[in-house]
Every structure is written in structure tokens, then in C-alpha cells.
Amino acid sequence: HNVSLAAYLFMAVCQLWCSCYNSSASAFAFLSSVSTGRLGGALDAVPSTDFQMVLSPEFEPNHPHFFQRQLDLCRRIITEDATTSYLEGDQIGVLPERHRFVEHSRCTARFGEALLQARDHASSDDEYKLAIYNAQSLVDYVETSLDKSNNTLAVRNGLLDDIAECLSTSSLYQFRKLQLECDASDSDFTPEQFDLELIGRLYYSAISRTKPYLREVGLTFDHTGFTALLALCRASSATDCASMSSSKHQYMPILSEPGARLDAALSNHFNAITVTGRRFFFSHHHGLDSCRPKTRGKHLIVAFSSLGNGIVRHEFGGSLAKLNNQMSESFDVLYVADPAQSWYQKDDRGGFNGFAQYESRIKAASKPYKHVSLIGDSMGGSGALLFSHLATESVVAFAPQVDLARDDHVSRDDMTLLVKEQFQTRLFENAEEAIKKGVTLFVHRGKESSDTQHTDQLMNRLASKCPLESERLKIIEHSDCNHHQIAVHLKQKGHLLEAISTCLMSNVVM
């Protein structure tokens, strides 16, 4: 849940683990030529002084000028003075402010901004110079690719598929499996340190597998080089689609087919779930003691996953198992995860057909049950509200996000403004449908300001659209929690099981 701090720590771990693979030795010999550049008149490539160093999030990867602006930013990094360290005094080692490249470095197309971030927040002169080296290598590679393809391809044809394939091998899957404890979904949330170490190992394995392609582009074998490689691939893939898109769909987050396959491969690698399919896991008679009779249940609970500590896994398993053993009639659990960390918008092929895919699977799983309830925390709470129209009894959401356009947790480049608006529209409409048919929505929140803003938006919307049924939205505020992690807070206080039991079973009559 504490994604910001977690990201800084795992980045440091990645750098340490990957240092033995770093190509820094050859990089430094090259740096003496950086100031003059190797672009053939480097000063001509320097943007004007009013060049926008960091593009706003609304300047999306499918924008016709996006790729060129990122490339120009790399050129600017190169031509700025690299003979003197950028770091002075107490700047060395200071952690940067939260940034979009931290949590979702594998999900950005902003390769120029990523390298700028690496340079300006370097913790040593060596890291500072390597950021410049990566920018030079990337520019050289793109210019060479464009020359060879008559200005049609910014990266080698087949590069994206090669990377996707190397991240999808059975041996890498087995490596992932060894890093995880048996995924029996028998706990609610995982300790942060465990997930930090896991993320580091996943990055280490991914960087090791992509060494041939990092070498091809000339990038360093570390977190920064890996981020730049993936961002370059995404940006080139999105640019291909931008040229084919009509003005009506200009800002749709469209990837080429190789780009979508790479996106899916990354989502499948960077998660903490080993069950087949990763997105859905059905637990029949979940957690029921062996001495209990196992008759067919009438109640299905659908548990949606959050971002966790920067990596997605199934949640609420421990509390749901305890609750199941307290019930006179047991229930089943369907765990639903979004390894793409897209608020259930991306499908398993890397496209944005996620809502329809998740809806279809949940509908099919729910069909045999008389009672269906949903639960989720943070992104999972948003998922529970997004699919609340599929519930028959209750929906329990802990600190959900409603307005993704104004929430810092959402930092994928391809979660464009249009995607976020469509998400909010669907969530509102489905919540309205749910309360009109008698479903009760329970929303738990602490005192954190953004959480209260999200729930206030939901409350105001339902009050205006469904004034007679809006009382079925129950806002439960926990005044002793001043942060976003309300479910973890209740778990630490020993109140989570009671909160889940009271809300989930409030309408159920077996």
C-alpha cells in the first residue's frame, strides 16, 4: 500500500543486484564526447529555452508529437554540460518526490522524462553520467533505426515481440513461482518488506532476460536502462497507432499488436499470483475446517485486489476463512486480480477491453449462486463498486477511488483521461443500478482528504440521481485513521473481521 516508499527501496535493491551486469566501464570512456554530441551538429538538436521539460499527463503517448518530444528531451540531456556533477552538497542521496516513473516504471512511454528523472535524482556522479550515456545510446539507436527503415520504424521490427517472448518463458515462470510462498490466499495482506524483496527479484530476473535487447539499444543493465527500453518500445508502439487513428480516437490508448503483447507479458510477470490465468482464482468452501460438512454453498463473495505494496496479489483470504468457519452455511470465494494495475480496465491481451472481460467472467461464476457480495480495498474497492451491478446483497469498499483523473495512485501513461472518464461513468451508472435493485453499498474511509473527496463524489452523485435509494450507500468513517490504508488499519486494530462480517452478511438470508 505504501507504494511510494516501497518503490524507492526496491529501486535501490535492483541497482545493487544488477550492478554486476552494468555496462558502465565502456560508458565512461564515451562520455568525453557527450558535450559535443554524435548527432551531427548537436546544438541544432537542442530545443528552444521554452521547451517543456516534462509533459503534462494529459499529453498522452498517442499524441502525434509525443515521441518526438521525448526524443528531443534525450537530446537536451545529452547537450547540457556533463563535465560537472549536477549534485551539490546535501542533494546527494536525497530521495526525489513521488513521480510517475517510480511505481509504474514498466508502464510508462515517457523515455525522455524517465532519463531526466534518473539524471536529476542521481545519488552519485556515476549514476548522473550513466543517465546521459543512456540518453545518447537511445538517440543513436532511434536515429539508426529510422535511417535503415526510411523513417518508418523507431525500433527494430520484431523487438517488442522478442522482449515479450523472453519474459514469457516457462523457465521464468518457474523462477517466479519459486519466489512466492504457496498462494493459498490464506492471509489478508502481505508484509511490505516481503513484497519489496519480491519486486526486486522480479526486476532482477526481467533485466537479466532482456540483456540482449538492452545491449542492442546500448542501454545499461539496470533499472534505469530497463525502464528506458520498455518506455521506448511503448512510445514507438503508440506512435504507430497514432498515425492510423482518426481524430475522434486520437487520444485512445491504442497499442500495436506487438505493443499489446509486450504489455500483457509485463503484467503476467510483475505480479504475486501463481495460479493459472492469474486474474481469477475460485476457492470452493474457502478456508473451511476439515471437520465441517462441505455442502454446496448458496453465497459467492467476490474479492478484488488492490495495488498492494506495488505488486498485486489476492487479498482478504485470512478474514474470509475465519468468517466462513463462523457461518452456519459456508460460502465460496472468487478472487479477482488486476495484474496490469489498471483499475480493471486492461484485459489479459494488453488491450483496454478489461471491463467486458471481467464482467463476463464474474457473471458466469455468479450464475449458480443465490447471493453474491463484493469486497475490495483501494483499487479493489473501486473494482467492487465498478461491478456492483453484479451483486445481489452488499458491496464493501475500503477507501476506493472514484475519480481517477485526480488521484495520485493512478500513474500508468496509458490510463488516459478518456479511460479515466469512462471508468467513472461506468462506476456511477453501475452503483446506481445496484442500489435501485436493493444492494447496499458500504464504503469505509479514514480521514485522508483524497479518500473523503472520492466518497463525497459518490454520495453526491447517488443523492442526485437516486434520491429515494441513496440511503443504501453507507459511509463508515474511522476517525482514528489518518491515512489511506484503512483496511490494514482495521486489521492491526483487530476490527477487520467484524467490519467485513457486519457489512457482507447484512442482507443475506440463507
User: From CA 404, how far away is CA 409, in angstroms rounded?
Assistant: 8
Helix (H) or strand (E) holding 227: helix 223-244
Beta bridge partners of 443: 397, 475
User: From CA 152, how far away is CA 343, in angstroms rounded?
Assistant: 34
Helix (H) or strand (E) holding 498: helix 496-504
Q: Which runs of consecutive H residues, i.e. helices, occur in 58-169? A: 66-79, 100-103, 111-120, 125-148, 159-166
Per residue of the chain (510 residues), what is the pLDDT tens digit?
Answer: 444 444 444 454 444 444 444 443 333 333 333 333 322 223 233 333 334 445 555 457 777 788 998 999 999 999 885 444 444 444 434 444 444 455 567 788 899 989 998 998 888 889 999 999 999 999 999 999 999 999 889 999 999 999 999 999 999 988 888 887 644 445 788 888 888 888 889 999 999 999 999 999 999 999 999 999 999 999 998 754 544 444 444 455 678 899 999 999 999 999 888 776 679 999 887 777 777 666 667 899 999 999 888 889 899 989 999 998 888 888 999 999 999 999 999 999 988 899 999 999 999 999 999 999 999 999 999 999 999 999 999 999 999 999 998 887 887 878 888 889 999 999 999 999 999 999 999 999 999 999 999 999 999 999 999 998 889 999 999 999 998 999 999 999 999 999 999 998 876 544
Residue 442 in grid coordinates = 458500504
Strand 371-377 to strand 299-304: parallel, antiparallel, or no bridges (unpaired)?
Answer: parallel
Residue 202 in grid coordinates = 522480479
For 406-443, how does the pLDDT look when each residue is reduced to its tens digit (9 = 90+)? 887 887 878 888 889 999 999 999 999 999 999 999 99
Residue 292 in grid coordinates = 465441517
For the sheet with 394-398, list strands across it: 280-283, 332-336, 299-304, 371-377, 394-398, 440-445, 473-477
Contact status, residue 413 vs residue 60, Cβ threshold 8 Å: yes
Length of the chain: 510
What pTM value is reported for the model? 0.83
User: From CA 408, how far away is CA 487, in angstroms rounded?
Assistant: 19
pLDDT attached to residue 101? 54
Residue 73 in grid coordinates = 528531451
Name the E strands within 416-486: 440-445, 473-477
Contact status, residue 458 vs residue 439, Cβ threshold 8 Å: no
Within 10 angstroms of residue 129's Cβ, the number of other Cβ atoms is 22
For 124-146, how does the pLDDT look when each residue is reduced to its tens digit (9 = 90+)? 889 999 999 999 999 999 999 99
Name the E strands within 337-454: 371-377, 394-398, 440-445
Q: Which of 147, 347, 158, 167 is nearest to 236 (CA)?
A: 158
Residue 421 in grid coordinates = 472518464
